[in-house]
Amino acid sequence: MEKQILVTRSSMPSLEEYVDEIKGMWQTHWLTNMGEKHQALQSELKKYLGIENIDLFTNGHMSLELSLQAMDLQGEVITSPFTFASTTHAIVRNGLKPVFCDINPVDFTMDVNKIESLITDRTCAIMPVHVYGNVCNVEEIERIAHKYELKVIYDAAHTFGVRYKGKSTGAFGDVSCFSFHATKVFNTIEGGAACFKDKEFGLKLYRLKNFGIRGPECVDGVGANAKMNEFCAAMGLCNLRHVDEEIAKRKKVVERYRERLSNIDGIQLSPIQKDVKPNYAYFPVVFEEREFGATREEVFDALAQHDIGARKYFYPLTNTFECFHNQFDVKQTPVALHISRRVLTLPLYADLALEDVDRICDIVLSCRRK
Ligand SMILES: *Cc1c(COP(=O)(O)O)cnc(C)c1O
């Protein structure tokens, strides 16, 4: 029996380190509601990311959803369908209408040349995604947003630790949201954060994550419950101490993948972006059947036969989800459709052995028709 390899494996501190971090809670009995660990993680993250304003959430999705709510928006939000369900759902659950912009075929982020043609008098915001950790064209998005007075909310779920021209991706847009889900580069088990520019907005957001409570006798917002609890914050404090090490290990894995899979006919890899310090979050591979000699499905099945879990990430596109039954026309996003049918993300985590990477690459390459 061959060793099973899952697509990802959560980073964890040693048990001792975590126990040490949570011990004090048996004295304080303070388990949630913005306690000591919550405060500590918030200030450590400010330092690590080099940003001024950050708030923590129970997960990345709620940071997106409540950020939109805190902006009091109405109308249409331009976004990408090449993403996780969360991005689109955050828009729809706020009573807003997603308008899907196609992606560019190189790094799979929003095609900035197509944004302006989608802007109408109902457009209120742009919600781009730094997909796979690839940084969007933040300058061009900012220019467009400024010109048309639109809000920008980045789904930065994939980019913890990524820097563009020396700045964390948390620094771009009106708000930028990270996910600290167990499967992400940095995790708090479940968790998320919103980085924002405007302190007034931050206060509103803070209240919305706690039912909209302003004071002991005043509730003036229809909020939710999206507070990060102390055990999750403690996990974050531990994992943050090791995140640079984890990213360095991921880099080795990615370099091996690149070594083995670059310059193969019919295989397209994500580019190394200029001015970007990456976090090596994902390793997407696009298979063009005609040149490669096998489809994405065939490669997926071959890996599955060896108990190796790759993911068809992101397939299907969010604008084809059953829950939106024919509300959107997928023909509007042909590049996203093309890529989503051909892409596979290969297993990637800090402790993935290079021999396992070799085994995965051997199987992938053996799918080529002779
Ligand atoms: C993981 C993810 C989210 C949501 O994060 P959760 O913490 O799981 O709620 C949002 N957008 C993208 C692109 C993601 O990958």
* Cα 155 to ligand 1 centre (Å): 8
* Cα 61 to ligand 1 centre (Å): 6
Q: What share of the chain is helix, strand, coil (3-state, %, to 5)?
A: 40, 15, 40
* Cα 160 to ligand 1 centre (Å): 12
Band (pLDDT 50/70/90 cuts) for residue 1 is low
Closest ligand 1 atom to residue 179 Cα is 7
| Segments making up each domain of the chain, as ranges | 15-238, 242-366
Closest ligand 1 atom to residue 181 Cα is 7
Residue type, 15: L
Q: Which top CATH class is 242-366?
A: alpha beta
Taking only the tens place, the pLDDT of each residue in 128-158 is 999 999 999 999 999 999 999 999 999 999 9
Taking only the tens place, the pLDDT of each residue in 14-56 is 999 999 999 999 999 999 999 999 999 999 999 999 999 999 9
Closest ligand 1 atom to residue 87 Cα is 11
What integer is the mean pLDDT of 294-308? Answer: 97
- Range of lowest pLDDT (3-12, 153-162, 174-183, 193-202): 3-12
Band (pLDDT 50/70/90 cuts) for residue 326 is confident
Closest ligand 1 atom to residue 158 Cα is 15
Taking only the tens place, the pLDDT of each residue in 243-255 is 999 999 999 999 9
Contact 65, 90 (CB under 8 A): yes
For 167, half-sphere exposure in the C-beta direction (CA atoms, 13 angstrom radius) is 13
Any idea which fold 15-238 has? Answer: Aspartate Aminotransferase; domain 2 (3.40.640)
Whole-angstrom distance, CA of residue 349 vs CA of residue 246: 8
What integer is the mean pLDDT of 278-288? Answer: 98
Domains 15-238 and 242-366 share a fold: no
What integer is the mean pLDDT of 213-228? Answer: 96
* Cα 86 to ligand 1 centre (Å): 6
Q: Whose CA is nearest to atom 2 of ligand 1?
A: 157
pLDDT at 2: 79
* Cα 43 to ligand 1 centre (Å): 22
pLDDT at 370: 59
Find how far residue 199's CA is from the centre of its chain. 24
Taking only the tens place, the pLDDT of each residue in 262-279 is 999 999 999 999 999 999
Residues with a CB atom less than 6 Å from ligand 1: 59-61, 83-84, 86-87, 129, 155, 157-158, 179, 181, 192
**Whole-model pTM over 0.85:** yes
